[in-house]
Amino acid sequence: MSTVSFKGRYTVKPAEATWRGSLCLSEWDMIGTITHVPTIYFYRPSQNWLTPADSIANTLKQSLSRALVPFYPLAGRLHWIGGGRLELNCNAMGVQFIEAEYDSKLDDFGVFSPSPKYNHLIPTVDYSLPIHDLPPLLVQLTTFSCGAICLSLTISHAVVDGQSALHFISEWARLARGEPLETVPFLDRKALRAGGPPIGLPRLDHSEFDQPPLLLGRSNNVEERKKKTTVSILKISKPQLEKLKEIANEERHSHIRSYTRYETLAGYVWRCSCKARKHSAEQPTALGVCVNSRSRMQPPLSRGYFGNATLDVMATSSAGELVTKPLGFAASRIREAIEKVTTEYVWSAIDYLKNQPDLTRFQGLHALGSDHGPFYGNPNLGVVSWLTLPIYGLDFGWGKEIYMGPGTLDDFDGDSLILPDDRRGDGSLLVALCFQAQHMDAFKQYFYGDIIETIE
């Protein structure tokens, strides 16, 4: 049986002195997922491979130290300040860098996909420790017996969102290649009124802060949280996706712009989930959509804004409407939720959260089986898009990765992710889905069966 042995654990600190002090976090930083989120990259040896093997680790550590100068919040530590609120102490304590060896070849590893088999390749975060003892960033470099490597990072979602995390990683790679920064991070979170009081704006409807619908006849979702889940990766080809988009847009009025890949595919996944879960027609259901507010605000946030600037909104419907009405209906419900996110909506939502005495109920920091925190499992789901993020092509000086993806998916029923299948390069997409094990086979049958019927 293959095993991973750990060669060393190091603390990498900024290469130069950085600003020190308490950085106020915005409300977006302190709600939703505030734990660490892993990503993973695999690289195969080539003629450009650095030798000896220590050169790779040294290159990564030295360039990481330089990257932590402009991106110094990642070298700090989070602190609770009461009421479920956090601040970031920029104290240059550094990030953790782990070196490991895997006594197996990369080709023996099997098909790449988010899986528990990655667990030993990803830094472990010990959440039994106080939050102020946890680095916001942990990195693990694992060398395979064939010389291939795996680079994994796990980054606190309370410090950055996906776009900011990828901004940091790409700039780190540029420094490793000996190039200058392309975009300096914008670190002033007061752009989203971090640390400021509410200002009494008119309150808009913010149903995203309410608990999503429950199964009919239930008073909570505790039992649904306890049920066994499994993860599957479902592929959809470009012709299949184009056909779905054509169907979704069939009854669209000419003055309405065409539904996007995300709106179409997320709507399709929503319909399939209702069928697989055998919902009654009257069952209310919600789909959580993660919306990037950076360019939706006027004026837009500064280029390189480093922090969380995304918010979750909910598309809602009855299962009967989703299943019986054309696909365009599901897409239109998602479009409606996304288009609510305007400048006024963002400021109103921030004011709403600032007026909350405690943010704990909005935070995803709770174990399975708990009845606290956001949960988009049965009868709901969340569909996150990575379609517009620059997730591929990370080159530290020895070529681009052969695979990149989320390290793991959460164990929560209903969590899903749509991302491009870059290995094919033909416009196909992947849906990474965590679903209750008892419903997964039925979901696959509807997902692929309905696509085949659609194209035929």
Rounded Cα–Cα distance for residues 268 and 74 (Å): 38
Specify the pairing of strand 77-82 against strand 36-43.
Answer: unpaired
Rounded Cα–Cα distance for residues 5 and 25 (Å): 37
Q: Strand runs (DSSP E) across 260-408, as ranges?
A: 284-292, 310-318, 381-385, 403-406
Alpha carbon 115 to chain centroid distance?
15
Rounded Cα–Cα distance for residues 104 and 300 (Å): 48
* C-beta neighbour count of 422 within 10 angstroms: 17
157 is catalytic: yes
Q: Say what angle helices 437-455 and 261-276 make with each other, to 10 degrees.
A: 120
| Those residues with Cβ within 8 angstroms of residue 353's Cβ, 6 or more apart along the chain or in another chain | 27, 31, 209, 359, 362
| Those residues with Cβ within 8 angstroms of residue 248's Cβ, 6 or more apart along the chain or in another chain | 259, 263, 264, 267, 326, 327, 328, 330, 331
Active-site entry in 79, 120, 206, 395: 395
Can you tell me which residue has the tokens 């195969």?
A: 44
54 is catalytic: no
| Those residues with Cβ within 8 angstroms of residue 445's Cβ, 6 or more apart along the chain or in another chain | 276
Active-site entry in 157, 167, 279, 439: 157
Kindly list the distances between the CA atom of residue 38 and the CA atoms of 46, 147, 220, 403, in Å, as whole numbers in the listed order: 26, 23, 30, 14
Which positions are catalytic? 157, 395
